[in-house]
A and B are shown apart, each in its own frame.
Chain A
Amino acid sequence: MAILSKEEAQAILKKVISYSKADACEVNLNGSDGGNIRYARNAVSTAGQISVMSLGVSSTFGKKTGTATINEFDDASLQKVVQRAEELARLAPENPEYMPPLGPQTYTESATFNAATAAMTPDTRAEMVGKSLSVSKAANLEAAGFLENSTRFNAMMNSKGLFAYNKGTDVSFSVTVRNQDGTGSGYVDQSFNNLDKMDTLALSKIAASKATKSAGAKAIEPGKYTVILEPLAASDILSNMFRGFDARSADEGRSFMSKKGGGTRLGEQLFSENVNIYSDPLNPELPSSTWDGDGLPVKRTQWVQNGVVKNLSYSRYWAAQKGVQPIPFNRSIVIEGGSQSLEDLIKSTEKGILVTRFWYIRSVDPQTLLLTGLTRDGTFYIENGEIKFPLKNFRFNESPVIMLNNVEALGKPVRTGSGMIPPMKIRDFTFTSLSDAV
C-alpha cells in the first residue's frame, strides 16, 4: 500500500487538484516501506519495520499559503484535506517570498529504483547480518552494526499542470568491529540503491582486518602532517562544505562564500587547480531524483572547475531577486579524481598518516569553515610508501577550504554515502591534540 505506481499516484493527485478552489494548489504524495536490524556485542539488539504514506496539500490565496496533510485516501478525506488547507491559507500571514507554482516540466527518468532491494524481508536482513556476525565470531572479535533498507516514492502535482514522480530504493550497512580488549577498532559504511552491490560479508572482513591492525596504537606528536584520507574520511569532512554553496547566505555576507566588501566568491579560484566538483542525478553509480522539492528539474551542475567556483545554488526566490536562473542543490556530489587507488597513494608517500574516517565533526568558525573532529577506527603511520604502525587518534582543527588548497593527489572516486569521493592526499593537515579513544 505504501508504494504507489506512477499511475496510481497521478490518479490520486488529479482528484485532489480537482477539489481545489484556491488561486494555486500544490499536492505532495509520499510513501515509504522499510525495515532495519541493529546489532551489538555480536547479537541483534533491536529490529523493526515501518510503512507510512501521507498526502500534503498546500493551498494559496494571493501570497497566503496554508498546508494540511492526511493519511487516509478515500474521496471524503481528500476533500477534507483540501478544505482544511484552504481554511488555513486564509488565516496565514502573507509570505513576501512566496513564489507561484511552476508550470509543467520535463524530467529525465531516474535510475533510483531496484526491485531486489524493494523485495527485502526480515529474513533477508537477518541473513545479511548473519554473514557479518560470522566474520566477527570466527575471528573472536566483537561486531556492532546496522542494516537498513527502504523503498519510497515521492509525487507532486500542482494547479498549473506540473506532475513529477520518483520511486527509489536504498540499502545501507555499517559495522564497527572491535577486538576483545578494546584496543583495536575498524569500520565500514556503505549505501547503494541496488541490493546486489551490497556484500555484508566482504565489508565486515575489511572492518575486522582494521580492528586487528589498529591494535597497539602508538602516540606521535600532534602537528601538521601529510594525510591520506580514505574516501569515507574525505566525505566526512567535505560534506560539511557543500551546504555552503548557497548564493543567498553568500550574498548576505554570512558564509565562507561571501566576498570581502560584498558579493560572492563565484568565479574565484578558491581551491587547488586539480579540484573539480559536480553533481549529476543520472550518474549510474549514484542515481538520485531528477526533480527537487519545488518541482525544478535537477541536472548535471558543475560546482567547481579547476579550483574555480562555477556555480552556487539559487532558490527560486533568490534567483528572481538576483535576475538569474534558479539552480537546485543536489546531494549526489562527485569529486573527480584520477585512476590511482588508495594503495597507490600510500606507495607514493614518504611520511604521512592514513585516516579511515573522522568523527564528531562540528563547525568552529563559519567564516573560515574551520571544523574540529577526531580520527576514528583505524589511523596509521606511513613511511617510505608503507603502513608502518597504528596511531592513536587525533583531534583536528582544519578547514575543508584550506584542505582543498593543499591537494597533492586525488585517487579514483568510489561511492561513499551520498557521494562519489576519491581517496585524497593532502599536505599540512592540522592535528591539534591526541585522544585516548579507540
Chain B
Amino acid sequence: MKRKDFIKLSGMGLGAMLLQNLTAYGTPIDPLQALDRVDPKVKKELADVALNAAKSKGASYADVRIGRYLNQFVSTREKRVQGVANTESYGIGIRVIANGCWGFAATNNVSRDGIAKAAEEAVAVAKANAKIQGEPVKLAPQKGYGEVSWKTPLEINSFEVPVKEKVDLLLNVNDIALQNGASFVNSVIFAVNEQKYFASTDGSYIDQDVHRIYPSFTVTRIDRTSGKFQTRTSLSSPMGMGYEYMHPKASEKVEGIIPRYKARYDILEDVKFAALNAAEKVKAKTVEPGKYDLVLDPSHLWLTIHESVGHPTELDRVLGYEANYAGTSFLTLDKWKSKKFQFGSNKVNVVADKTQVGSLGAVGYDDEGVKCKKWDIIKDGVLVNYQAIRDQAHIIGLEESQGCCYAQGWDDVQFQRMPNVSLQPGTAKLSVDDMIKDVEKGIYINGNGSFSIDQQRYNFQFGGQTFHEIKNGKIVGMLNDVAYQANTQEFWNSCTAVCDASDYRLGGSFNDGKGQPSQSSAVSHGSATTRFNGINVINTARKI
C-alpha cells in the first residue's frame, strides 16, 4: 500500500525520503508548478490521437485518460519538519477492446508518437489475450456527453495555501501534544488534486478537477517504568474538500465526551484531547470480555460500514473478479434476486452516492465517462442493489452503468471501485446522550483502530481509538484492550437505533486497496451514532 510507504517515512532524512518513497506518488516538483494547468484544447487533440490510433489498429472501443495527479505532503514530528514534498504524475492511459478483449497501455511520453505507440501496444495486448479469452466483453451503452467539465466545490485550493502556513500549523499541533503530556507526536497534511481528462469513442470529452485533503496525527504516550505505551490518532476525516476543512466552525462541531467534527475540523482542539486520552489509556482498566451493547460514533462506524457493507456489495467481488486478491462476497446474486435477504434490521438503510458534496468519492463522471448518481443498496434492512460498471451492468439487468469506475492514476487500468456508501440517519429525533441513557452495559467507541474481515465479509474484528464504558445509562470511565468480533449479518440485524440527521457525519478511507496490481482509491462513509445490541467483545491484552 502506498500510504504505508508514506507512514514508514518516520526517521528518514528529507532527501532520502523524497527520492526513495515519494516517487511512488509521482515526480517531486516545485509547489508553484502545481498551479500550472494543461489547456483542455490540447488534451482533446492528444486524446483524439489516441482514439484514432486505437481504431486504426482494430479497436472496436477505446477510451483515453490524460491524467495529471498532484500530491502535497507536509509531515512533522515533535519540533521538526520531516518532509515537505509536492509530486506530480503526468501521462496517458489507453484502454481498448479488440477482438472482444480488453487491452491497456500507458506512457509518460505524452507526445503524438508516444501516444500512438501506446495505443498500438494496448491493441496488441488485447489481441494477444483474445487467444485465451472466453466470452467477449459486453459494454452497457453510454451516450457521449460532448465537451463537459466538473470541479470539486471548494473554497480554498489546498495547493494555493503556502507550505509555511501548513508547517506552522502542524508544529503548533505538536507543541500542544507535547505540552499535554505526549511523549511523541507525528502530524501530516496530505492534499491531492486529480486533473483528469477522459475521452472515448462514444464521443465524450470530460475535463475534471478533483480535490481531496487529509490532515492527521498520532500522539504516543510512553510510561517507561511499566514499559507500556499507547497511541491516540486524530478524529479528523479525509474529505473531498479544499483547505477550508482546516478552518474550524462552531456549527460543524459535535460536543460530547470528546469533541468531533463535521465538514470543518479543529486540529488544535483534537490534539489536546488526544494527548489527554493517550495518558488516560495508559492507565485505563482492561475490559472484561463478554457481550456488550455498542454505541458507535461515525468516526468509528465508517470503517465497519466500509468493510462489511461497502466491500460485499461490490459487484466485481460478488461475481468472482476479485477472488484472487480482495476476495468474493457472501452477498451472492441469489440473495439479491430473492428481494428478501435481511442484511440488517429495518433501521438499516444504506445508499451509494457519488454526488455527495464534501465526500471523497464525489466526481461528475466516473473513469469510463458515466455521469455519477445515487441509489439504494440496503432498503429497510433488505439487500436491493450492488455497485456496477459498464461491462457488468448487464449481469444485474441494468440498462446503464452505475458509474463506479476508477483508476488511481493514468498508468493504472480503471475498474470497479466503491462509491460513497453511507448509513442513513434515523428519522425519529434521537441524540447521542439519549441513546447512551438507554444502555445498561455498553461501550461507546470513537475513532477507528485495528480492522480485519474475511474474504467473503462474514467475520470481522474491529478496535477503535477510545473506549468508554457505559453502565446503567452513564459513561463511567475508559477501557483498554477492546475489540469486537461479529458476523456481518448478525451485527447489522442487532442494530436497534440510529441517531437523527443532526449527528450525521462523514468518515472515510483515503487509501482503500483493491485489484492486481493493487490500486488505491478514496471513499467516504456517512452515518449518525448507531447502537448495536449484544456484541461479542474480546480482551486483546497479552504478555510477551
A249 to B8, CA, bound (A): 11
Interface: B229 (CB within 8 A) = yes
- Interface presence of A245 (CB below 8 A): no
Contact partner, B516, options A38, A122, A368, A402, Cβ 8 Å:
A38
Q: Are A97 and B321 in contact (CB under 8 A)?
A: no
Report the separation of the CA atoms of residues A122 and B106 in the bound assembly, to the nearest whole angstrom.
Answer: 14
Residues of B within 8 A of A293 (CB): 16, 19-20
How many residue pairs link A and B with beta carbons under 8 A? The number is 271
- Docked-complex contact A317 and B220, CB < 8 angstroms: no
- Most chain B beta-carbon neighbours within 10 Å: one of A129, A360, A432: A360
> Is the C-beta of A43 less than 8 angstroms from some C-beta in chain B?
yes
Q: Is the CB of A435 within 8 A of B102?
A: no
How near does chain A come to B91, taking the closest CB pair, in angstroms?
8
Taking CB atoms and an 8 Å cut-off, the chain B residues in 326-341 that contact chain A are 327-328, 330, 332
Q: How far is B458's CA from A182's CA once the two chains are assembled, in angstroms?
A: 15
Option from A69, A260, A436 in Cβ contact (under 8 Å) with B226: A260
Q: Which residues of B contact A30 (CB under 8 A)?
A: 23
Chain A residues in 8 Å Cβ range of B481: 365
Which single residue of chain B is at the shortest CB-CB distance from A95?
Answer: B14
Is A56 in contact with chain B by the CB < 8 A criterion? yes
Does chain A have a CB within 8 A of B454?
Answer: yes
B-contacting residues, A17-76, CB 8 Å: 26, 28, 30, 35-38, 40-52, 54, 56, 58, 60, 65, 67-71
Q: Are A48 and B461 in contact (CB under 8 A)?
A: no
B150 interface contact, C-beta 8 A: no
Asked if A235 is at the interface of the complex by the 8 Å CB criterion, the answer is no
Cβ B184 vs Cβ A252 within 8 A: yes
B445 shortest CB reach to chain A, Å: 15
Given contacts A48-B125, A49-B125, A374-B452, contact A402 B542 (CB under 8 A): yes
Least distance between A249 CB and chain B CB atoms (Å): 8
B102–A144 touching, CB < 8 Å = no
In the complex, per-residue mask of B209-228: 1 if CB is within 8 Å of any chain A CB, else 0: 00000000000101011111
Q: Which of B76-104 contact A (CB under 8 A)?
A: 80-81, 84-85, 101-104
**Docked-complex contact B28 and A68, CB < 8 angstroms:** yes
Query: Contact between A146 and B30 (Cβ–Cβ < 8 Å)?
Result: no
A182 neighbours in B (Cβ, 8 Å): 328, 332
A280 within 8 A of B: no
Contact flag A435-B14 (CB < 8 Å), given A122-B128, A363-B450: no
Chain B contact patch, size range: 35 or more
Given contacts A370-B540, A433-B459, are A360 and B125 in contact (CB under 8 A)? no
Which residue of chain B has the shortest Cβ distance to A318 in the bound complex? B11
Q: Tell me if B455 counts as interface (CB < 8 A to partner A).
A: yes
Contact of B250 with A by CB under 8 A: no
| Inter-chain contacts of B246 with A (CB < 8 A) | none
Task: Report how far A350 CA is from B458 CA in the complex, Å.
Answer: 31
B258 at the interface (CB under 8 A from A): no
Q: Which of B438-454 contact A (CB under 8 A)?
A: 450-454
Partner of A435, one of B15, B319, B454: B454
Q: Does residue B487 face the partner (Cβ distance < 8 Å to A)?
A: yes
Least distance between B321 CB and chain A CB atoms (Å): 4
A376 at the interface (CB under 8 A from B): yes
A-side contacts of B14, CB under 8 Å: 65, 67, 92, 95, 98
Query: Given the complex, which residues of A lie within 8 Å of B231, measured CB to CB?
Result: 366
Partner of A45, one of B11, B12, B13, B102: B102
Q: Is B356 an interface residue (CB 8 A)?
A: no
Select A126's contact among B132, B330, B455, beta carbons within 8 Å. Answer: B132
Chain B CB within 8 A of A306 CB: no
A9 within 8 A of partner (CB):
no
Please report which residues of chain B, range 309-333, place their CB below 8 angstroms from some CB of chain A when the two chains form the complex: 319-325, 327-328, 330, 332
Q: Are A437 and B227 in contact (CB under 8 A)?
A: no
A48 touches B19 (CB 8 A): no
- Which of B224, B226, B332, B454 contacts A437, CB < 8 Å? B454
Contacting residue for A361 out of B16, B225, B228, B452, CB 8 A: B452
Task: Report the bound CA distance from A364 to B544 in whole Å.
Answer: 14
Instruction: Give the nearest-CB partner of A99 in chain B.
Output: B13
Asked if residues A253 and B19 are in contact (CB atoms below 8 Å), the reply is no
Chain A residues, Cβ within 8 Å of B457: 437
Given contacts A54-B27, A372-B450, contact A437 B540 (CB under 8 A): no
Question: Is residue B167 contacting chain A, with contact meaning CB distance below 8 A?
Answer: yes
B positions within 8 Å CB-CB of A? 8, 11-16, 18-20, 23, 27-30, 80-81, 84-85, 101-108, 121-122, 124-126, 128-129, 131-135, 167, 183-184, 220, 222, 224-229, 231, 319-325, 327-328, 330, 332, 411, 413, 415, 450-459, 461, 463, 481, 483, 485, 487, 515-517, 536, 538, 540-544
Nearest 3 Cβ contacts at the A-B interface? A260-B227, A435-B459, A48-B104
Additional 9 contacts, C-beta under 8 A, given A148-B516, A293-B16: A41-B134, A65-B13, A122-B128, A126-B129, A130-B132, A178-B320, A258-B227, A258-B229, A374-B459
Residues of A within 8 A of B (CB): 26, 28, 30, 35-38, 40-52, 54, 56, 58, 60, 65, 67-71, 84, 87-88, 92-93, 95-99, 121-123, 125-126, 129-130, 133, 142, 144-146, 148, 174-176, 178, 182, 185, 187, 243, 248-249, 252-254, 256, 258-262, 270, 293-294, 315, 317-318, 359-370, 372-374, 376, 393, 395, 397, 399, 401-402, 432-438
Q: List 30 A-B contacts (CB under 8 A).
A: A36-B517, A38-B516, A41-B319, A46-B415, A48-B104, A48-B106, A50-B107, A54-B23, A56-B19, A58-B19, A65-B14, A69-B29, A98-B13, A125-B128, A126-B131, A144-B320, A176-B323, A248-B11, A254-B183, A254-B184, A258-B227, A260-B225, A260-B227, A293-B20, A361-B452, A364-B450, A365-B481, A395-B454, A436-B330, A437-B459
